[in-house]
Amino acid sequence: MDILTSKNAGILTIEFNRPDKKNAITAAMYQSMADALRDAETDGAVRAILFVGKPEIFTAGNDLSDFMANPPRTETSPVFQFLQQISHASKPIVAAVSGAAVGIGTTMLLHCDLVYAADNARFSMPFAQLGLCPEAASSLLFPQIVGYQRAAEKLLLGEAFSAQEACDMGLVNRVLPADQLLQVALQQAAKLVALPASSIRTTKRLMKSSQQAAIEAKIAEEGQHFRAMLSAPEAKEAIGAFLEKRKPDFTQFS
């Protein structure tokens, strides 16, 4: 199972479990996560959700081979179902990030409520480097959180940044020694579980409701561009180069 889910003491844990491919996310994995989040909405026993990866890798983002083989064609594709569920989740979401969080590994955090990072965490959104564009409403939410210039640097250049930088810019709540990450994330999730669930849900909704429509619209707008760009020659060159372990050559495209 490339996505592991477990429910314990009010916490639904969703774990990336494909370490041989750096937890790269396939369509089937998006579907599993979307289904788990959908189920959590109606399961009264779930009062908080926790996303975790492996100590050495959170996730390398979209599985690039799978993306080329099974590109998301519509707004009902698994990746969009996942985005729909995570961006509408009424219950609090905690993320524990260690190792690299690439692409959606970083942008999904914009929809989490509490984000804890190990000191080895590295964040990146290399969409432009792949001939693609931002997703998950990151082109709206990331500039809001960190300011336009800092967002532009991370989204245009796509270079990785450290846990401390992510914390300084407000993407991450706290940086922790790697061996304490899971314990602290679980403690924080347990605190949420112990509080009145209706107050937690209402507080979250109040913080988010004023821009829910804008987030939905941005996810749809980004999705249109993303789907078109995925079949364009720039992305084919970039993704082909990654899979063939060579440097991409974009000089042929104007």
Contacts with ligand COA, residue ranges (CB under 6 A): 21-22, 24, 60-65, 100, 102-103, 126-127, 130, 242
Name which of 9 and 69 has its Cβ closer to ligand COA. 69
Q: How far is the CB of 233 from ligand COA (least distance, A)?
A: 17
- Rounded CA gap, 53 and 63, in Å? 15
Q: How far is the CB of 154 from ligand COA (least distance, A)?
A: 13
Name which of 63 and 113 has its Cβ closer to ligand COA. 63
- Rounded CA gap, 50 and 187, in Å? 11
Sheet harboring 3-8: ordered strands across? 3-8, 11-16, 48-52, 93-97, 114-118, 174-176
Name which of 69 and 194 has its Cβ closer to ligand COA. 69
Of the candidates 110, 132, 119, 224, the residue with the CA atom closest to the CA atom of residue 175? 119
Name which of 80 and 127 has its Cβ closer to ligand COA. 127
Name which of 69 and 195 has its Cβ closer to ligand COA. 69
Angle value at C-alpha 140, between 54 and 148, nearest 5 degrees: 95
- Judging by DSSP bridges, how do beta strands 48-52 and 3-8 pair with one another? unpaired
Q: How far is the CB of 177 from ligand COA (least distance, A)?
A: 21
Element (H, E) at 161: strand 161-162
Q: How far is the CB of 60 from ligand COA (least distance, A)?
A: 3
Residue nearest to ligand COA (CB): 103
Q: How far is the CB of 103 from ligand COA (least distance, A)?
A: 3
- Rounded CA gap, 234 and 242, in Å? 12
